[in-house]
Amino acid sequence: MEIEPRSHQKPEPVLVEIEPGFTIPDFMLAEVQIKLAYADEHIRSASVQPELIRLQVEAEASQPELIEKVQRIVESLAKGAIRPKTQILEDYMDRPVPYKADPMPELIRLAEISQESPGVFALGPLVTRLAGYFESQFLALADSFQAAPYRFPTLIPARYLERVNYFRSFPHSLTFATHLRSDLDVIDRFSQEAACAGGELTASPDSFAAVQNLLSPAVCYHLYFALADKPLPQGQVIATAVGHCFRYEAINLTSLERLWDFTMREVIFVGSKDFVLENRETARQRMREAFERIGLAYRVENANDPFFIGEFRKQAAFQSAFQLKFEIRVSLPFNQSTLAVGSYNYHQDFFGRSLNITLPDGSPAHTGCVAFGLERIAFAFLAQFGLDPSGWPAEVRQAAA
Ligand code: AMP
Ligand code: ZN
Nearest atom within ligand 1 for CA of residue 305:
3
Residue 198 and residue 58 share a domain: no
Query: Tens of pLDDT along 131-175?
Result: 999 999 999 999 999 999 999 999 999 999 999 999 999 999 999
Residue 93 and residue 62 share a domain: no
Query: Tens of pLDDT along 24-62?
Result: 999 999 999 999 999 999 999 999 999 999 999 999 988
Residue 257 and residue 386 share a domain: yes
Query: Tens of pLDDT along 107-140?
Result: 999 999 999 999 999 999 999 999 999 999 999 9
Q: What is the structure's pLDDT at 12?
A: 83
Average confidence (pLDDT) over 76-87: 90
**Least confident segment among 201-205, 265-269, 369-373, 387-391:** 201-205
Residue 197 and residue 127 share a domain: no
The yes-or-no verdict on residue 4 having pLDDT over 90 is no
Helices 374-385 and 125-144, interaxial angle, to 10°? 120
Residue 251 and residue 106 share a domain: yes
Torsions phi, psi for 20 (to 5 deg): -70, -15
Other C-beta atoms lying within 10 Å of the C-beta of residue 259: 21
Q: What is the structure's pLDDT at 333?
A: 98
Q: Is 258 in the pocket of ligand 1 (CB under 6 A)?
A: yes
H or E segment and range at residue 36 = helix 29-36
Nearest to 271 by CA among 344, 354, 368: 368
Average confidence (pLDDT) over 295-318: 92
222 inside domain: yes
Query: Tens of pLDDT along 338-364?
Result: 999 999 999 999 999 999 999 999 999
Q: Is 264 in the pocket of ligand 1 (CB under 6 A)?
A: yes
- Are 160 and 215 in contact by the 8 Å Cβ rule? The answer is no
Q: Distance between CA atoms of 92 and 331, rounded to whole angstroms? A: 9
Residue 108 and residue 253 share a domain: yes
Q: How far is CA 268 from the centre of its chain?
A: 17
Query: Tens of pLDDT along 275-296?
Result: 999 999 999 999 999 999 999 9
The yes-or-no verdict on residue 9 having pLDDT over 80 is no
How many whole angstroms from 342 Cα to the centroid of ligand 1?
Answer: 7
48: which strand partners?
A: 53
Other C-beta atoms lying within 10 Å of the C-beta of residue 248: 20
Tell me which residue has its CA closest to atom 1 in ligand 1: 343
Nearest atom within ligand 1 for CA of residue 249:
19
Percent of the chain with pLDDT over 70: 97
Residue 201 and residue 228 share a domain: no
The yes-or-no verdict on residue 5 having pLDDT over 70 is no
Average confidence (pLDDT) over 233-241: 97
181 inside domain: yes
User: What is the arrangement of strands in the sheet containing 176-177, beginning at the earlier edge strand?
Assistant: 155-157, 213-215, 176-177
**Who surrounds ion ligand 2 at CB < 5 A?**
220, 266, 369, 371
Average confidence (pLDDT) over 300-329: 92
How many whole angstroms from 371 Cα to the centroid of ligand 2?
Answer: 6
Nearest atom within ligand 1 for CA of residue 345:
4
Q: What is the structure's pLDDT at 22?
A: 92
Find the CATH number of the domain harbouring 27: 3.30.70.60
Q: What is the structure's pLDDT at 2?
A: 36
266 inside domain: yes
Extended beta strands in 186-260, E state = 196-197, 200-201, 213-215, 230-231, 237-246
Q: Going by C-beta distance under 8 Å and a sequence separation of 6 or more, which residues neighbour residue 42?
A: 57, 58, 60, 61, 66
Average confidence (pLDDT) over 315-332: 94
Residue 36 and residue 119 share a domain: no
33 inside domain: yes
How many domains does the chain divide into? 3
Extended beta strands in 198-247, E state = 200-201, 213-215, 230-231, 237-246
341: three-class secondary structure by DSSP: strand
166 inside domain: no
Torsions phi, psi for 115 (to 5 deg): -85, 125
Q: Is 216 in the pocket of ligand 1 (CB under 6 A)?
A: no
Q: Is 376 in the pocket of ligand 1 (CB under 6 A)?
A: yes
Q: Mean of the per-residue pLDDT values for the chain?
A: 94
Q: What is the structure's pLDDT at 283?
A: 98
Residue 198 and residue 334 share a domain: no
Q: Which ligand is nearest to the CA of 304?
A: 1
Find the CATH number of the domain harbouring 329: 3.30.930.10
Alpha-carbon dihedral angle through residues 169, 170, 175, 177, given to the nearest 10 degrees: 0
End of a domain among 164, 186, 207?
A: 207
Residue 187 and residue 309 share a domain: no
227 inside domain: yes
- Are 249 and 37 in contact by the 8 Å Cβ rule? The answer is yes
Percent of the chain with pLDDT over 90: 88
Average confidence (pLDDT) over 238-245: 98
267: which strand partners?
A: 240, 370
Residue 253 and residue 196 share a domain: no
Q: What is the band of 252 on the pLDDT scale with cuts at 50, 70, 90? A: confident
- Are 223 and 270 in contact by the 8 Å Cβ rule? The answer is yes
Other C-beta atoms lying within 10 Å of the C-beta of residue 245: 22
How many whole angstroms from 6 Cα to the centroid of ligand 2?
Answer: 37
Q: What is the structure's pLDDT at 80?
A: 87
3-class DSSP string for 133-166: HHHHHHHHHHHHCCCEECCCCCEEEHHHHHHCCH
137 inside domain: yes
Q: Is 259 in the pocket of ligand 1 (CB under 6 A)?
A: yes
Name the more confident of 86 and 9.
86
H-assigned helices in 259-373: 273-294, 309-321, 350-355
Q: Distance between CA atoms of 46 and 24, rounded to whole angstroms? A: 15
Residue 196 and residue 140 share a domain: no
End of a domain among 59, 78, 97?
A: 78
Q: What is the band of 10 on the pLDDT scale with cuts at 50, 70, 90? A: low
Domain span holding position 37: 14-78
Please, what sign has the CA dihedral across residues 336, 400, 391, 143? Answer: positive
